[in-house]
Structure 1
Amino acid sequence: MTSKILLEIENAQVNYLGKATFYQLNFIWQEGQQWAITGDSGRELTAFLETLRGSTHLPKGRISRTFASEYIAQKTDEGSVHSFRDLIAYVSQQYRFRNKSNLQNFYFQQRFNSSEADEAATVSAYLKENSTPIPGPWTLEKVAALFRLTPLLDSSILMLSNGETRRLALALGLLRQPKIYLMDQPMTGLDQESRAAFGDFLKAIISEGIHVLITTSSAEIPEGITHVGELKSSGKIQIWERENYSLNKNQSKDLPWNSDVMKALLEGLPKAENEVIRLENVSIRYGEKTILNQVNWQVNPGERWQLKGKNGSGKSTLISLLIGENPQAYSQNFWLFGRKRGSGESIWDVKRPIGFVAPELVRFFPSNQTVRKVILSGFFDTMGLFKKTTAEQESKMNQWLQLFNLETFANLPIQRIPLEQQRWTLLARALIKAPKLLILDEASQGMDERQRVIFRETVQKILELTPITLIYVSHYQEDIPENVDRIFELS
């Protein structure tokens, strides 16, 4: 017996973000199939998802969404405004939250200032405000329990960790009561425990009749998936049933960068003269909630550390202390580069010797900030370029553009370029001022498999060529460069 077709793409030419991406895309999604789509290009995987949800342009070919036929017929008879999108939930990698005035005007420091966190809704209020009126099996209490959000319901969304924010986005998708649930790299940002439990989450929602399609790496196909598709750059999709799919990839460590340009740009990176970090019994609390409890840590010049811990263990809060964004630093026994915090230094004195990369930084740049402006802002430690630059600074920025193959994106807003180019832009911004300490917080999150290897090996080369001190945060051990040989773990 032939299964019912839920969605079909036939011989489609697909234009995504104004560029032709696929020339002859074909895909059939049948009832009972749960899909994982892999591929070598994160941009193309996102374009495929955007095609399914109707957000790309098809000059040729067609797409039929028969899963929505009954719903559309019913709403048409009722005379109600409707769309097949009413039945689709989509979790992208670029979700943005708004404050209570419905404006996206948060700034990065607000995450760590308890007096300003009230500008954002609580987790509970945010889920209520953004759920759908369509009836269905998913209640706020049910999704909160499923995603381990129940203890966080009264917390400001601005105070959530990267992984907690991802779980919130996934929970919100369920409250749409979807028939089709699309997720773009849903396990990025999740700790090992959450990734291990992701298959249980999939099985729970599939049991309620939801059909799932996710993009993911070929090494992470969760339980519950029945079919795997590997998307080629031509638009062809090679298909396997889950039990017949095996990982067989040999990722080269060769870098695509000009080694002479890279070496010249890194020549100015200095080594710290004094101990880089010293924490003595550091404790951070927000109201009744303790985030860091009696933390002690010392980092010496030239050391390379991996900072580990589950989602919500306080990694982001600890990093906020190091980069000068947490106002509670002044009440702690805490030294940076041999100088006790709160001894008369300015915020700019703290930031000057530190380069910092985190994927959420992109959300806090004003919408008019182009790639070139973002890189140049690294000289001034500001979330955007607001000062006149020198010819020397412009020259250095152009060299970083050239090194990371970003020239074609130079004048585009950073929020409108592919995720992998965003990550290289942020790395260039961090390095352009020749820092003594480099902090990489899930810095390759959202990159496809090949790009993650290139990112890891690029950082490895930086460590080989310079005396820089490094703190590297990642939930994926395979992303850690070889020269990172020390571990500090938060419980």
Structure 2
Amino acid sequence: MTSKTLLQIENARVNYLGKASFEDLNFTWREGEHWAITGDSGRELTAFLETLRGTTHLPEGKIERPFADQYIIQKTEEGIVHSFRDLIAYVSQQYRFRNKSNLQNFYFQQRFNSSEADETATVKEYLIQNSTPTPGPWSLEVVADLLRLSPLLDSSILKLSNGETRRLALALGLLRQPKIYLMDQPMTGLDQESRAAFGDFLKEIISKGIHVLLTIPSTEIPDGITHIAQLGLGQITQTWPIKEYPKSSGFTQELPWDMDLLERLCANFHIPKEEVIRLENIHIQYGEKVILGQIDWTIEAGDRWQLRGKNGSGKSTLISLLIGENPQAYSQNFWLFGRKRGSGESIWEVKKPIGFVAPELVRFFPANQTVYKVIASGFFDTMGLFKKLNSEQESKIQEWVDLFRLKPFLHHPIQRIPLENQRWALLARALIKAPKLLILDEASQGMDERQREIFKHTIEKILEKTGLTLIYVSHYREDIPDSVDRIFTLE
């Protein structure tokens, strides 16, 4: 007996963000099926989810959503405004939090200033404010327990780590009481423990009648998934039941860049010989909560470190000290390039020798900041371009744009371009001033498998050519360049 169809796409031509994404797209989703969608293009994977949500344009073909038929009939009879989207929860890779004045005017340093936490809602307030009144099995207490948010309910949403923010987004989706749950790379940013528990999370929500479809790397298919589809070249190229899915053997990838140009850009780096960082008995505390306690760490020029720890272990706080964003740095025994913090230096002197990449940076640029302006802001360590550039700086921007093939996006707001291109733009911003220390905090987050591989080997090549000192934060060992040979773990 054939299962009931939940959703069907037939012979669809799909435009996403004004560009053709799919030709002759066909897909059938039946009751009892839970799908993982893989592919080499992050933009294509997101476009597929947006098509299911009904936010793309179909010049040809059609999409039907029988899962919502009964709901639509009922709400029509009741005279209530409705949509099939009422039954869909969607977790994207980009979050847009607002403060209590309903303004999205956060700035990056704000998350480390405890005095400003009152400007943002707590986790509990945020979930209550954004949940639906629709009755269902998912209460605040249930989702907080399921996603390990109970200890964080009174915490400001701005102070959450990447992984905690991801769990918050998953919880909010459940509070919509959905029939369909769509997730775009939901395991990104989760620590090893959370990734291991993600399959249990899926099985729990599936047991309550939710149908799941997510995009994910082919190497990370979680428990609970029954079917896998592969996207490529504008259509679904193949589908498998989970038991028949072939295991990936990995692949090698030549860098797609102009290697002569990369060589010339790397020649601008001048690496110091002195000690880069020394931390002695670092202690960071907010109220009664100790974030970092008795931390000692010395980094010499040319060292390559992986910084690791569970979500919420203090990695972001430690990095905030190193990049000059944490106001408690002045009370700590902390030396940067041989100079003790708090000895009269300005924040700009602290930032100048350090390149920093973190995916959440994109959220803190003003909405009018284009890719060009974001890259240019790396000269000044500001969240946007507010100064006039000289001809040498303009030339340097063009070289990094050419290297990472960002020209098609140059004058687009960075928040509106594909995630993989955002990551290359942020890397260009970090490297454009030829820093002495590069800090990468989950820097390839949101990229597909192929792009993550390219990112890793690009960093490897830059390290080889420059001798840069590196701190790399990632929960994924496969993302760490091979030359990273030291590990610092926060418990």
Cα shift at 1:98: 0.5
C-alpha distance in structure 2 between counterparts of 1:459 and 1:84, whole Å? 44
Quick check: 2:44–2:234 contact (8 Å CA) kept in 1? no
Deviating more after overlay: 250-259 vs 311-320: 250-259
In the alignment, residue 183 of structure 1 is paired with which amino acid? M
Alpha-carbon shift at residue 117 of structure 1 (Å): 1.6
Letter in 2 for 1:486: R
Which residue pairs with 2:16 in the alignment?
A: 16
Q: Provide Cα deviations, 1:376-399, integer angstroms capped at 9, x if missing partner.
A: 000000000000000110000000
Q: How does 1:305-320 map to 2 (within 5 A)?
A: 305-320=305-320
Q: 2: distance between equivalents of 1:147 and 1:136?
A: 17
Partner of 2:53: 53
Q: Find the aligned partners of 1:94 and 1:456 in 2 and give their Cα distance.
A: 22
Matched residue type, 2:9: I
Structure 1 residue matching 2:103: 3-state secondary structure: coil
Residue 453 of structure 2: aligned partner? 453
Q: Report 1:309-458 matches (<5 A).
A: 309-458=309-458
In the alignment, is residue 265 of structure 1 matched against residue 234 of structure 2?
Answer: no
Listed as ranges, the matches of 1:112-123 within 5 Å are 112-123=112-123
Supply the RMSD in Å over aligned alpha carbons.
Answer: 0.7
Secondary structure of the 1:376 match is helix
Q: How much has 1:413 moved relative to structure 2?
A: 0.5
Could you say which residue in structure 2 is the equivalent of 1:138?
A: 138
For 1:132 and 1:220, locate their aligned partners in 2 and report how far apart those are by CA, in whole Å: 31
How far the C-alpha of 1:425 sits from its partner, in A, is 0.2
Structure 2 letter corresponding to 1:359: P
User: What's the secondary structure of 1:13's corresponding residue?
Assistant: strand
Moved over 4 A (4+): none
1:223 and 2:223 aligned: yes
2:233 partner SS = coil
| TM-superposed deviation, 1:246 | 1.9
Cα distance between partner residues in 2 of 1:465 and 1:17: 38
The count of corresponding residues between Structure 1 and Structure 2 is 491
Distance 2:322 2:274 in 1: 15
Partner of 1:40: 40
The whole-number CA distance in structure 2 between the counterparts of 1:170 and 1:348 is 37
Query: Contact conserved, 1:112 with 1:326, CA < 8 A, in 2?
Result: yes
Structure 2 counterpart of 1:484, one-letter code:
V
Q: Deviations over 1:149-169 (max 9, x none)?
A: 000000000010010000000
Q: Which whole-Å CA distance do the structure 1 matches of 2:269 and 2:180 have between them?
A: 49
Which residue of structure 1 lines up, in the alignment, with residue 463 of structure 2?
A: 463
1: CA distance, partners of 2:114 / 2:227: 45
1:132 to 1:237, Cα distance in 2 relative to 1, 3 A = farther
Letter in 1 for 2:183: M
Q: In structure 2, how many angstroms separate the alpha carbons of the residues matched to 1:271 and 1:460?
A: 16
Contact 1:27 1:237 in 2 (8 A): no
Aligned to 1:106: 106
C-alpha displacement of 1:234 = 2.7
TM-superposed deviation, 1:287: 1.1
* Residue pair 1:24, 1:236 contacting (<8 A) in 2 also: no
Identity of aligned residues (%): 75
Counterpart residue identity of residue 28, structure 1 = T
CA distance in 1, matches of 2:218, 2:35: 12
| 1:190, distance to aligned residue in structure 2 (A) | 0.2
Q: CA deviation at 1:250?
A: 3.6
Whether the 8 Å contact between 1:185 and 1:216 is mirrored in structure 2 is: yes
Post-superposition Cα deviations, 1:109-143, rounded to whole Å, max 9, x if no partner, equal 00100001211100000000000011100000100
Q: CA deviation at 1:249?
A: 4.1
Alignment partners' CA distance in 2, 1:294 and 1:272: 28
Q: Following the alignment from structure 2 to structure 1, what is the Cα–Cα distance between the partners of residues 41 and 111?
A: 32
Structure 1 counterpart of 2:159: 159
Deviation at 1:25, TM superposition (A): 0.5
Could you tell me which residue of structure 2 aligns to residue 275 of structure 1? 275
User: Following the alignment from structure 2 to structure 1, what is the Cα–Cα distance between the partners of residues 199 and 57?
Assistant: 33
SS in 2 for 1:20: strand
Q: Kindly provide the CA deviation profile for residues 240-270 of structure 1, in whole angstroms up to 9, marking residues without a partner as x.
A: 0011112234422310001100010111112
CA distance in 2, matches of 1:404, 1:355: 17
Contact 2:229 2:236 in 1 (8 A): no
Paired residues of 1:38 and 1:228 also in contact (CA < 8 A): yes
Matches within 5 A, 1:283-298: 283-298=283-298
Displacement of 1:275 in angstroms is: 1.1
Structure 2 unaligned residues grouped into runs of 5+? none
Measured in 2, the distance between the counterparts of 1:268 and 1:470 equals 17
User: 1: CA distance between counterparts of 2:277 and 2:451?
Assistant: 31
Local SS of the residue matching 1:116? helix
Residue by residue over 1:210-262, the C-alpha shift from the partner in whole angstroms, topping out at 9 and shown as x without a partner, is 00000000001000000011112231341100111122344223100011000
State the one-letter code of the partner of 1:228: I
Q: Are the aligned partners of 1:273 and 1:337 in contact in 2 as well (CA < 8 Å)?
A: no
Q: Tell me the CA shift for residue 198 of structure 1.
A: 0.3
**For residues 386 and 247 of structure 2, what CA distance do their matches in structure 1 show?**
47
SS at match of 1:378: helix
Q: Distance in 2 between matches of 1:96 and 1:274?
A: 41
Q: Conserved in 2, the CA contact under 8 Å of 1:26 and 1:237?
A: no
Aligned residue for 1:202? 202
Counterpart CA distance in 1 for 2:77 and 2:215 is: 36
Conserved 8 A contact 2:291-2:314: yes
Counterpart of 1:393 in 2: which secondary structure? helix
Q: Give, as a single letter, the amino acid of the residue that structure 2 aligns with 1:190.
A: L
Contact 2:277–2:338, Cα closer than 8 Å, also in 1? yes
**Could you tell me which amino acid in structure 1 is paired with residue 242 of structure 2?**
R
Q: Distance in 2 between matches of 1:73 and 1:42?
A: 36
User: In 1, are the aligned partners of 2:219 and 2:248 still within 8 Å (CA)?
Assistant: no
Q: Residues of 1 paired with 2:410 and 2:252: CA distance? A: 28
- Give the secondary structure class of the aligned counterpart of 2:285: strand
Scaled by the length of structure 1, the TM-score of the pair is: 0.99
- CA–CA separation in structure 1 for the residues paired with 2:467 and 2:90: 43
Contact 1:21 1:47 in 2 (8 A): yes
Partner Cα separation in structure 1 for residue 478 and residue 424 of structure 2: 19
Which residue is equivalent to 1:177?
177
2:72 counterpart residue number = 72
Deviates more, 1:395-404 or 1:239-248: 239-248
Q: How big is each residue's C-alpha offset from its partner over 1:159-217, in whole Å with a ceiling of 9 and x where there is no partner?
A: 10010000000010000000000000000000011000000000000000000000000
Which amino acid letter does the alignment assign opposite residue 263 of structure 2? Answer: K
Kindly report which structure 2 residues correspond to 1:223-262, keeping only aligned pairs within 5 A, or say none.
223-262=223-262
Residue 108 of structure 1, CA deviation: 0.1
